[in-house]
Amino acid sequence: MASHIITAALASGELKAGQTVVDFSSGNTGIAVAMVCASLAIPCVLIMPQHPLLRERYLTIRALGGHVHLTAPAKGIKGMEEHFDWLLRQSPGEYFGLAQFTSPQNPLAYYSSMGPEIWEQTGGEVDYFVQGVGTGGCIAGTGAFLKEAAKKGGVVVVAVEPTEARVHIGEEPGAHTIVGIGSGTVANFFGLSGPLDGPQPIPGIIDEWASATSEEAATWCQKAARKEGLLVGPSAGAALKVAVDIASRSDAAGKTIVVVLPSHAIRYAGHGLWDGLREESDAALPVPANLDLDARTCLFKSSDYSQQQGAKERGGWD
């Protein structure tokens, strides 16, 4: 999506030589923007909340050469958007606003890439498409393509948001730890009708609204890691939980369910998901290290540590 928006803006002349790309992000799209800008020698600024959970994303963006502006965490997405708007107003010729939450190029990116990829890889056998809602562009664009390809909307598109913040069904936003989805604002792209570039609109993109709690998301991250070797982030855990719920229905027997797992769990090492393992790693890797030449050869065994913890609750990866 980041590549699509930036290259389209360059082609149209909307993004001009010498301008800096700017957008606000919880971090994952920000990393993508920094990657694309680095490859094109374009400066960029990413706006994120000043929250320790985002340390890995901060480090990654800076390593890629991007700059980061940090806003007040209590103001959430509204604070990031406020600073974004201020930058564009105070220096209108200096910045190009990528605007992932509102740019029509966002869903179009997925309509032209992820949708066809899923259709090809499944041989056109897609019954359910499950995706967490961040900006909403992925599920809107991919869902529009799949419904068009399946003819008469035969694919059921299921949108996932945190149980604690189900704003799309009219509930009030609440605190949750499923980073990447559930910003507390209603997505802009669900009024779209697909196909995005064709003459015959398909009414409605989202067929079902589903949810997972913060705890359920963490549990399913753990299951994906321990049972499938997939180390995924909280929003992926939430989507996987919903996909398995769908697979458990009698009417889904024999159906093909496609679920997107968007990011790697290592980007969330500051998240509560890792609490138990952080405690263990602190015990295993003390600072300073033991450099005593007379120390026994093997100083720590994770299996011994786990046994010593007994039934003590140690976080999402236990």
Domain-located, residue 187: yes
Domain-located, residue 119: yes
Tell me, rounded to whole angstroms, the distance of Cα 232 from its chain centroid.
10
Q: State percent of the chain over pLDDT 90.
A: 73
Q: Give the residues across from 23 on adjacent strands.
A: 46
pLDDT in tens, 243-295: 999 999 999 999 999 999 998 898 888 888 888 888 999 999 999 999 999 99
Mean pLDDT value of segment 181-199: 69
Nearest of 270, 187, 208, 267 to residue 235 by alpha carbon: 267
Q: Looking at the structure, tell me whether residues 71 and 178 fall in a common domain.
A: no
Q: Looking at the structure, tell me whether residues 185 and 300 fall in a common domain.
A: no
Q: What CATH number is attached to the domain comprising 49?
A: 3.40.50.1100
Q: Looking at the structure, tell me whether residues 11 and 40 fall in a common domain.
A: yes
Question: Final residue of a domain: which of 49, 75, 97?
Answer: 97
Q: Looking at the structure, tell me whether residues 184 and 213 fall in a common domain.
A: yes
By DSSP bridging, strand 67-71 and strand 128-132 are: unpaired
Domain-located, residue 160: yes
Does the pLDDT at position 31 exceed 50?
Answer: yes
pLDDT in tens, 42-72: 999 999 999 888 888 999 999 999 999 999 9
Q: Average the pLDDT over each of 3-12, 97-106, 191-200 and give the range with the smallest value.
A: 191-200
Q: Looking at the structure, tell me whether residues 88 and 127 fall in a common domain.
A: no
Predicted confidence at residue 317, as pLDDT, reads 56
**What's at 29, amino acid-wise?**
T
Q: Looking at the structure, tell me whether residues 116 and 184 fall in a common domain.
A: yes
Q: Looking at the structure, tell me whether residues 121 and 248 fall in a common domain.
A: yes
Q: Looking at the structure, tell me whether residues 118 and 255 fall in a common domain.
A: yes
CA 111/CA 162 separation, integer angstroms: 25
Domain-located, residue 317: no
Q: Looking at the structure, tell me whether residues 153 and 46 fall in a common domain.
A: no
Q: State percent of the chain over pLDDT 70.
A: 92
Q: Give the residues across from 205 on adjacent strands.
A: none
Q: Looking at the structure, tell me whether residues 144 and 226 fall in a common domain.
A: yes
pTM: 0.88
Mean pLDDT value of segment 97-120: 95
Q: Looking at the structure, tell me whether residues 147 and 243 fall in a common domain.
A: yes
CA 79/CA 69 separation, integer angstroms: 11
**Domain carrying residue 296:** 272-309
Q: Looking at the structure, tell me whether residues 21 and 72 fall in a common domain.
A: yes
Mean pLDDT value of segment 60-87: 95
Predicted confidence at residue 199, as pLDDT, reads 36
Predicted confidence at residue 91, as pLDDT, reads 87
Q: What is the count of structural domains for the chain?
A: 3
Does the pLDDT at position 26 exceed 90?
Answer: no
Of residues 204 and 21, the one with the higher pLDDT is 21
Predicted confidence at residue 318, as pLDDT, reads 57
Q: What is the dihedral of CA 75, 77, 81, 87, to 10 degrees?
A: 70
Nearest of 45, 46, 40, 37 to residue 2 by alpha carbon: 37
**Would you say 156 and 250 are in contact if contact means Cβ atoms under 8 Å apart?**
no
Domain-located, residue 315: no
Does the pLDDT at position 73 exceed 60?
Answer: yes
Q: To the nearest whole number, what is the mean pLDDT of the chain?
A: 90
Question: Final residue of a domain: which of 97, 120, 148?
Answer: 97
Does the pLDDT at position 202 exceed 50?
Answer: no
Predicted confidence at residue 244, as pLDDT, reads 97
Predicted confidence at residue 133, as pLDDT, reads 94
Contacts of 192 by beta carbon, 8 Å cutoff, 6+ apart: 107, 140, 144, 205
Question: Final residue of a domain: which of 45, 75, 97?
Answer: 97
**Does the CA dihedral 293-280-233-167 come out positive or negative?**
negative
Domain-located, residue 318: no
CA 239/CA 259 separation, integer angstroms: 7
pLDDT in tens, 115-152: 999 999 999 999 999 999 999 999 999 999 999 998 75
Nearest of 125, 136, 138, 144 to residue 198 by alpha carbon: 144
DSSP letters, 274-307, are: GHHHHHHHHHHS-SS----TTS-S----HHHHHH
Domain-located, residue 69: yes
Predicted confidence at residue 308, as pLDDT, reads 78
Domain-located, residue 276: yes
Q: Average the pLDDT over each of 5-14, 84-93, 201-210, 245-254 and give the range with the smallest value.
A: 201-210
Predicted confidence at residue 311, as pLDDT, reads 39
